[in-house]
Amino acid sequence: MKNLKPWLPLIGIGVLALVLLAVAPSVLSMHWINNLGKYCCWAIAAVGIGLAWGRGGMLVMGQGVFFGLGAYSMAMHLTLESAGPDSLPIFMILYDPLAPLPAFWEPFRSDLFTLLAILLLPVIVASILGYALFKSRVKGAYFAILTQALAVALAVLISSTIRETGGDTGLSDFKYFFGFVLSDDGNKLMVYLIAAALLVVCLLVVWQLGRSRFGELLIATRDAEERVRFLGYDPANIKLVAFVVAAVMASIAGAMFVPIVGIITPQEIGASASILMIAGVALGGRASLFGPALGAMAIGWGQSSLGSSWPSGWIYILGLLFILVTLFLPMGLSSLVGKVTGLVWRPRATPTATTPAPEFTAPEFTEVKK
Amino acid sequence: MTVTDGSLVVTDLRVEFDGFVAVGGVSFDAHPGEVRFLIGPNGAGKTTCIDAITGLSKGSGSARLGGQELLGKPAHKIVRLGVGRTFQTASVFDELTVLQNLDIAAGLHRSSLSLLRARRGVDPAIHRALEETGLSRELATPAGILSHGQKQWLEIAMLLVQDAKVLLLDEPVAGMSLDERTATGELLGRVAATRTVLVVEHDMDFMRRFASRVTVLHQGKVLSEGSVAEVQSDPRVQEVYLGTAAAPSVMTIGREDD
Ligand SMILES: Nc1ncnc2c1ncn2[C@@H]1O[C@H](COP(=O)(O)OP(=O)(O)OP(=O)(O)O)[C@@H](O)[C@H]1O
Ligand SMILES: [Mg+2]
pLDDT value for A348: 43
Let me know if residue A263 belongs to a domain. Answer: yes
Angle at alpha carbon of residue A340, lines to A335 and A344, rounded to 5°:
135
Do residues A288 and A19 touch, judged by C-beta distance below 8 A?
Answer: no
Chain A interface includes B105 (CB < 8 A): yes
pLDDT value for A213: 92
pLDDT value for B196: 95
Let me know if residue A194 belongs to a domain. Answer: yes
Report pLDDT digits (tens) over B67-95.
Answer: 899 999 999 999 999 999 998 887 899 98
Let me know if residue A331 belongs to a domain. Answer: no
**CA distances for B131 relative to A98, A109, B102, B186, angstroms:** 79, 64, 13, 14
Which residue among A211, A213, A355 sits closest to B103, beta carbon to beta carbon? A213
Mean pLDDT of all residues belonging to chain B: 88
Interface of A with B in 82-111 (CB under 8 A): none
Chain B interface includes A351 (CB < 8 A): no
Looking at all shown ligands, the one closest to residue B23's CA atom is 1
Chain A interface includes B158 (CB < 8 A): yes
The response to whether residue B47 sits with its C-beta less than 6 Å from ligand 1 reads yes
The count of C-alpha atoms lying within 13 angstroms of the C-alpha of A276, restricted to the half-sphere facing its C-beta, is 23
Report pLDDT digits (tens) over A334-361.
Answer: 888 777 766 665 444 443 333 333 333 3
Average pLDDT over residues B101-106: 92
The type of residue at B122 is: V
pLDDT mean for each 10 residues of chain A (370 residues): 78 96 94 95 97 95 96 96 89 86 93 97 97 92 94 95 92 94 94 97 96 93 91 94 98 97 94 91 92 94 84 84 85 81 53 37 34
Do residues B86 and B156 touch, judged by C-beta distance below 8 A?
Answer: yes
Q: Which domain holds residue A84?
A: 12-271
Interface of A with B in 148-167 (CB under 8 A): none
Let me know if residue A332 belongs to a domain. Answer: no
Separation CA B170–CA A9 (nearest Å): 41
Nearest C-alpha in B relative to A220: B93
Let me know if residue A6 belongs to a domain. Answer: no
> Based on the number of CB atoms within 10 Å of its own CB, is A347 exposed (0-12), middle (13-18) or buried (19 or more)?
exposed
- Which protein residues have their CB within 5 A of the ion that is ligand 2? B 47
pLDDT value for A342: 64
pLDDT value for B250: 45
Angle at alpha carbon of residue B221, lines to B215 and B224, rounded to 5°:
35
Domain spans in chain B, listed from the N-terminal domain onward: 1-82+166-174+196-258, 90-164
Four-point Cα dihedral B163, B168, B174, B176, nearest 10: 30
Chain B interface includes A208 (CB < 8 A): yes
Q: Which helix (H) or strand (E) holds A210?
A: helix A185-211
B1-82+166-174+196-258 is classed in which CATH architecture?
Answer: 3-Layer(aba) Sandwich (3.40)
The type of residue at A184 is: D
SS3 A61: coil
Q: Is B93 left (phi over 0), alpha (psi -120 to 50) or beta?
A: beta
pLDDT value for B15: 95
Report pLDDT digits (tens) over B123-143.
Answer: 889 999 999 999 999 999 999
pLDDT value for A130: 95
Let me know if residue A50 belongs to a domain. Answer: yes
**Is the pTM of the predicted complex or chain greater than 0.80?**
yes
For chain A, give the number of residues: 370
Distant-in-sequence, close-in-space partners of B20: CB < 8 Å, separation ≥ 6: none
pLDDT value for A311: 81
Nearest to A364, CA basis, from A210, A220, A216, A212 = A210
Query: Could you tell me where the DSSP H helices lie in A285-330?
Result: 291-304, 306-309, 311-328
Under the banding of pLDDT at 50, 70 and 90, the label for residue B184 is: very high
Mutate to test the pocket of ligand 1, among B21, B48, B51, B168 (most ligand atoms within 8 A of CB): B48
Let me know if residue A277 belongs to a domain. Answer: no
Q: Using a CB-CB distance cutoff of 8 angstroms, which residues of chain A are in contact with residue B114?
A: 213
Separation CA A33–CA A91 (nearest Å): 29
Let me know if residue A230 belongs to a domain. Answer: yes
Do residues A358 and B93 touch, judged by C-beta distance below 8 A?
Answer: no
Contact A358 B145 (CB under 8 A): yes
Distant-in-sequence, close-in-space partners of A298: CB < 8 Å, separation ≥ 6: A280, A283, A284
Mean pLDDT of all residues belonging to chain A: 88
Do residues A353 and A346 touch, judged by C-beta distance below 8 A?
Answer: yes
pLDDT value for B247: 43
* Bridge partners, residue B28, by sequence: B10
Measured in angstroms, how far is the CA atom of residue A337 from the centroid of ligand 2?
Answer: 43
Chain A interface includes B115 (CB < 8 A): yes
Separation CA B78–CA A38 (nearest Å): 49
pLDDT value for A364: 36
**CA distances for B63 relative to A300, B52, B54, B163, B198, angstroms:** 58, 9, 9, 20, 14
pLDDT value for A349: 40
Ligand 1 atom nearest the C-alpha of B45 is 18
Report pLDDT digits (tens) over B221-239.
Answer: 999 999 999 998 888 888 8
> Based on the number of CB atoms within 10 Å of its own CB, is B187 exposed (0-12), middle (13-18) or buried (19 or more)?
buried
